[in-house]
Amino acid sequence: MDCVYKNPSAPIEERVKDLLSRMTLDEKIGQMTQIERGVATLSVITELSIGSILSVGGSAPYEDAPSEAWADMVDGFQKAALGSRLGIPLLYGVDAIHGNNNVYGATIFPQNVGLGATRDADLAQKIGMVTALEVRACGINYNFAPCVAVCKDPRWGRCYESYGEETELIRKMTSIVTGLQGQPPPGYPKNYPFLSGSDKVVACAKHFVGDGGTERGINEGNTISSYDDLERIHIAPYIDCISQGVCTVMASYSKWNGCHLHASHFLLTEVLKEKLGFKGFVITDSEALDRLYHPHGSNYDQSILTAINAGIDMVMVPFRYQLFLDHLRCLVESGKIPMTRIDDAVERILRVKFVSGAFENPLSDRSLLDTVGCNF
Is 285 annotated in the active site?
Answer: yes
Cβ neighbors of 335 (< 8 A, separation 6 or more) are none
3-state secondary structure labels for all residues of 326-349: HHHHHHHHCCCCCHHHHHHHHHHH
Cβ neighbors of 3 (< 8 A, separation 6 or more) are 18, 19, 22
What are the DSSP calls for 82-150, one per residue?
HTSSS-PPPEEEE--BTBSTTSTT--B---HHHHHHHT-HHHHHHHHHHHHHHHHTTT--EE---B---
Question: Do you find a cis peptide bond into 318, omega within 30 degrees of 0?
Answer: yes
What is the H or E stretch that residue 250 is in? strand 248-251
Distinct helix (H) and strand (E) counts, the chain: 14, 11
Residue of 285, 313, 326, 365 marked catalytic: 285
Amino acid at 220: E
Question: Do you find a cis peptide bond into 234, omega within 30 degrees of 0?
Answer: no
Active site residues: 285
